[in-house]
Structure 1
Amino acid sequence: MSRFFITLAYNGKDYVGWQIQPNGESVQEVVQNALSIILRGEIVLVGAGRTDAGVHARKMIAHFDWNGIAFDPNDLVFKLNGFLPRDIAVYAIREVDARAHARFSASSRTYKYFITLRKDPFLFDLKYRIFYTPDIEKMNCCAQILKEYTDFTSFSKLHTDVKTNFCNITDAYWERVGEYDLVFTITADRFLRNMVRAIVGTLLEVGRGRLDENDFRRIIEAKDRRSAGTSAPGYGLYLHDIVYPEWVFQIGD
């Protein structure tokens, strides 16, 4: 039995998220079915994480096991891209260590959230438009505070099945891109459901002058989702990168 990592990207607009759900079509379901048809065997995909409905991914990693007839990874990438819809793209398939796990072996994940101050008829469902100019310096001051904490219950969706709300955030910052756009980048070892969107929504309240640094600390320390701001819409959020330790890619060592 060999294990493979598949690297893909998708526009999440028309999906209920990455994970298979009973209430609509998921990215996992579409890619899993395509792999099963092309390889002529039942494939089960395990993703590096769960993106919510409407959220995009510039880089998602998933793994699957295969003990059938050997295939050429580049050829399989080509066939998948011809089979999959235009809003899902496969970039690479690579054999990995049999112990490697797309979710549990990842050492870090990076998300980006895109905001625009200008009405754009072409990108309205890919960036979150706001109607004010936030104070980016104040938002960055509070973004740095995130690295001082590990319990992010205040930014987690309620009633999830996770065992802990602890995350280690190593980077979090806002930057201006051109005249009209803002991008928030955040990196951590793991993320809770709805966490990034809740953080963005709360930081935007800071940018509007409705919260200050002391308020932001109180929100985190409250460990209560009701104390934080409204979550930003899913369509502005992108899973940007996933990093793994080197041993994952060392076959036969």
Structure 2
Amino acid sequence: MQTGTRVRFIVSYDGTGYCGWQKQKPEDQVSVAQVIEGVLEKVFNEKISLFASGRTDAGVHALNQVCHFTTQRKIDPTKKWDLCWALNAYLPPSIVVKKAWLAPDDFHATLSATHKTYRYLILNQSRPSAHLSRYADWQRLPINIEHLQESSKFLLGNQDFKSFQSVGTPVKDTIREIYKAEWKWRKPGVLQFTVTGSGFLKQMVRNIVGTSMMLERKGLDPSKMQEIILAQDRKQAGPPAPAQGLYLMRVYYPQDLDNRCLEL
């Protein structure tokens, strides 16, 4: 087991311009993790391995991504070292560390997570927005939210979501549990989809949104969503919704682990 001080922190980022959270090939592409690791190594003056609750794709944003790393430095929480300030001094404006804690050795940003919430935003108006083009998908034609709400009901529960898995990261199985899947108007002209689940497959949320919009645009019965799920065939589902509308909103952990983390 690796020895040292384990640090947990929350980071938000604008995914525009990054190849995603994880380092990719070719090497000239810049990832969010790569930038943060570089700053951590500068601040702590040692090699740092960074772990996150999960990966986000190129162009996807996060409001509360959870990460952890282990340092050989001893950190005294009573001295009130503002680690967030130290990291943000070197990070670009598109990446902000919001909060940090000393974490117990059994905390793991990836393995300890119990469920996550994602949100997807759609700008639904006759003209696109120059200011929101990086932060929401634009749909010109009016959207029938009642149709979307009906189709989303079939997502709930413990099911095999293979139909919504894009090719990529291998997983042991494609069964996940969805606790909440809800469409609502965030404000006039801005549609919001919020989904909470035990975990998500590669591009699963974007594929769900893309499929929901496909069914609504084609005027198909909302129950078609259930047929697509049962087919366990990616070809039966719709195309993925654009990356810029997706946000990682929150990652949840066992209460006892949260209670044993000491805020820095």
Structures share a fold, TM > 0.5? yes
**Match in the other structure for 1:94:** 101
Q: 1:87 to 1:73 in 2, by over 3 A?
A: farther
Residue by residue over 1:99-150, the C-alpha shift from the partner in whole angstroms, topping out at 9 and shown as x without a partner, is 1110111111000000001321111111100111121111111111101441
Check whether the contact 2:5–2:74 (CA below 8 A) recurs between aligned residues: no
Paired amino acid for 2:21:
W
Calculate percent identity across the aligned residue pairs: 34
Paired amino acid for 1:150:
Q
**Match in the other structure for 2:15:** 12
Which runs of 5 or more structure 1 residues have no equivalent in the other structure?
Answer: none
**Match in the other structure for 2:229:** 220
1:207, CA displacement in angstroms?
2.2
| Whole-Å separation in 2 of the counterparts to 1:246 and 1:2 | 21
| Whole-Å separation in 2 of the counterparts to 1:80 and 1:212 | 50
Q: Report the secondary structure of 1:113's partner residue.
A: strand
1:27 partnered with 2:36: no
Check whether the contact 2:124–2:143 (CA below 8 A) recurs between aligned residues: no
**Match in the other structure for 2:172:** 163
**Match in the other structure for 1:189:** 198
Normalised to the residue count of structure 1, the TM-score between the two structures is: 0.95
**Match in the other structure for 1:210:** 219
Q: Report the secondary structure of 1:177's partner residue.
A: strand
2:250 corresponds, among 198, 220, 241, to 241
Q: 1:177 to 1:251 in 2, by over 3 A?
A: closer
| Whole-Å separation in 2 of the counterparts to 1:190 and 1:251 | 24
Check whether the contact 1:77–1:90 (CA below 8 A) recurs between aligned residues: yes
Paired amino acid for 1:211:
L
Check whether the contact 1:112–1:239 (CA below 8 A) recurs between aligned residues: yes
Q: Report the secondary structure of 2:208's partner residue.
A: helix
Normalised to the residue count of structure 2, the TM-score between the two structures is: 0.91
**Match in the other structure for 2:61:** 56
Check whether the contact 1:97–1:247 (CA below 8 A) recurs between aligned residues: no
Paired amino acid for 2:108:
H
2:114 corresponds, among 99, 107, 118, to 107
Paired amino acid for 2:91:
L
| Whole-Å separation in 2 of the counterparts to 1:188 and 1:197 | 14
1:22, CA displacement in angstroms?
2.1
| Whole-Å separation in 2 of the counterparts to 1:26 and 1:8 | 14
Q: 1:149 to 1:189 in 2, by over 3 A?
A: closer
Q: CA RMSD in A?
A: 1.5
Residue by residue over 1:82-106, the C-alpha shift from the partner in whole angstroms, topping out at 9 and shown as x without a partner, is 1000100001110122111101111
Residue by residue over 1:55-92, the C-alpha shift from the partner in whole angstroms, topping out at 9 and shown as x without a partner, is 00011001101222426665221011110001000011
Q: 1:165 to 1:185 in 2, by over 3 A?
A: same
Q: 1:231 to 1:74 in 2, by over 3 A?
A: farther
Check whether the contact 1:17–1:54 (CA below 8 A) recurs between aligned residues: yes
